[in-house]
Amino acid sequence: MVEYVSTTTGLFPLPDWAKEELTDLKGHQKADMVSGDETEEIEAVYDRARAEILSTQRAAGVDLLVEGQYRWDDMVTHVLSVNESVETTGIARYYDNNNFYRKPIVTDDLEPSGDVADELEAAAAFADGALQAVLPGPYSLAQLADDDHYGDDGEFLAALADCLAGEAEAFPDVEALTLLEPSLGVTDPDEPDRVREALETVSDAVDAPVVVYTYWGALEVDLYATVLDADVDAVGFDLVTAEESARSLVSEHGTPDSVALGVVDGQNTRVESAEEIRATVDEFVDAAGDLETVYVTANTGLFYLPTNRFEAKLEALGRATEPEVASV
């Protein structure tokens, strides 16, 4: 019997009141962005927003809650922006999006900062439900950051993986850890085995199931086969931008016991109905065969959306895994 779990990939849009309060408190220049030393006043705004969004997710019927990643001004590279061995420099384009992040440059030995663990501790206090941790995957971090210290691509990737593992070890109990790996779908790695080792390094650091979530394209065949060999619990597929390629990978190479299916478009305001979401999921599951857990999720982070549509999408996701929505 397949278990369906509604969740998200995190990176939520701030509620409008917090956009305003934080712009006033922080400013909107490069130097004003989160670097891990916010004032108590700023922390208080994030605490309120976090409490609010946990309750919104619960009310929407989402099964596996996230902290929201509101402090991640630089999106997935946040974990480096708050690290003491990293300098953030100019503004760079974030993948093929009209969004920008501060390019991180690693200048010294990376040590975990505990920043994400602190966020999860704060969330656990309000969560009152199953909590999922979100981290970037090591390969995406290596693609988005510059190395000014290790001097070797393989060493750099391994150091990022060790650092992420250190962050994950400090986590409170969570029900799952999702590693966001958009770069795996965007830029095929030269040495897939190193990527597999890096993923395993992070995965070994936690007891909870680990989902490697890839998006903006499907993986190349060889890379997919390598990721399947990795000791991770679930692989994620972006069924919004790459449904066909994802299905052909699965029909040829199968899946792990569990999968995450990105079926809600994180970058478009059109709100999918619960029935539509469920039909896409069921079609995939029927073709894939035996599965244990299916995480039903958005294909990307959700910060691209205005808050009204973001909340509507949460509700659709929450309903999609209810028994009465199961397709006939």
Partner 1 sequence: MTGPREQFRPDDHPNEHFLLTTVVGSYPKPKWHDRARELFEDPDGDLDRGAWEKAKDDASRAIVDEHERAGIDAVTDGEMRRTEMVEYFADRIDGYERNGRVKVWGHNYFDKPSVYREVEYSDSWLVDEYEFTSDVATHPVKVPITGPYTLASWSFNEAYEDDAALAIALADLVNDEIQQLVDAGARYIQIDEAALATTPEDHAIVGECLERIVDGLPEDVYVGLHVCYGDYSRIYPEILEFPVDEFDLELNNGDYDQLEVFREPTFTKNLGFGAVDVHAAEAESVAEIKANIRRALEVVPPERLTISPDCGIKLLPREVAYAKLENMVQAAREIEAELDDGTVEATAPAPGAAD
Residues of this chain that interact with partner 1 (CB under 8 A) are: 13-14, 16, 19, 22-23, 26-30, 32-33, 73, 91, 94, 96, 98-101, 267-270, 303-309
- For helices 40-59 and 16-26, give the axis angle rounded to 10 degrees: 170
Smallest gap from residue 28 Cβ to partner 1 (A): 4
Angle at 249 between CA 96 and CA 310, to 5 degrees: 45
Alpha-carbon distance 311 to 326, whole Å?
Answer: 22
Q: Which tokens go with 166?
A: 């250190």
Query: Which lies closer to partner 1 via its Cβ, residue 30 or residue 253?
Result: 30
Smallest gap from residue 186 Cβ to partner 1 (A): 14
Nearest to residue 8, comparing CAs of 326, 262, 305, 306? 262
Smallest gap from residue 16 Cβ to partner 1 (A): 6
Smallest gap from residue 205 Cβ to partner 1 (A): 30
Q: Which tokens go with 262?
A: 């990105």
Query: Which lies closer to partner 1 via its Cβ, residue 5 or residue 22?
Result: 22
Smallest gap from residue 50 Cβ to partner 1 (A): 17
3-state percent breakdown (helix, strand, coil) of the chain, nearest 5: 45, 15, 40
Q: Which tokens go with 62?
A: 């989402």
Query: Which lies closer to partner 1 via its Cβ, residue 100 or residue 150?
Result: 100
Smallest gap from residue 236 Cβ to partner 1 (A): 23
Query: Which lies closer to partner 1 via its Cβ, residue 94 or residue 150?
Result: 94
Alpha-carbon distance 67 to 50, whole Å?
Answer: 7
Smallest gap from residue 73 Cβ to partner 1 (A): 5
Query: Which lies closer to partner 1 via its Cβ, residue 16 or residue 128?
Result: 16
Query: Which lies closer to partner 1 via its Cβ, residue 32 or residue 111?
Result: 32
Residues 6+ apart with CB under 8 A from 3: 292, 293, 294
Smallest gap from residue 91 Cβ to partner 1 (A): 6
Query: Which lies closer to partner 1 via its Cβ, residue 27 or residue 254?
Result: 27
Q: Which amino acid makes up residue 5?
A: V
**Backbone dihedral region of 234: left (phi > 0), alpha (psi from -120 to 50 degrees) or beta?**
beta
Smallest gap from residue 271 Cβ to partner 1 (A): 9
Query: Which lies closer to partner 1 via its Cβ, residue 73 or residue 243?
Result: 73
Alpha-carbon distance 162 to 199, whole Å?
Answer: 10
Instruction: Judge contact between 72 and 104, C-beta under 8 A.
Output: no
Q: Would you say how long the chain is, in residues?
A: 328
Query: Which lies closer to partner 1 via its Cβ, residue 137 or residue 301?
Result: 301
CA 75 remoteness from chain centre: 10
> How do beta strands 86-93 and 100-106 pair?
antiparallel
H or E stretch at 18: helix 16-26
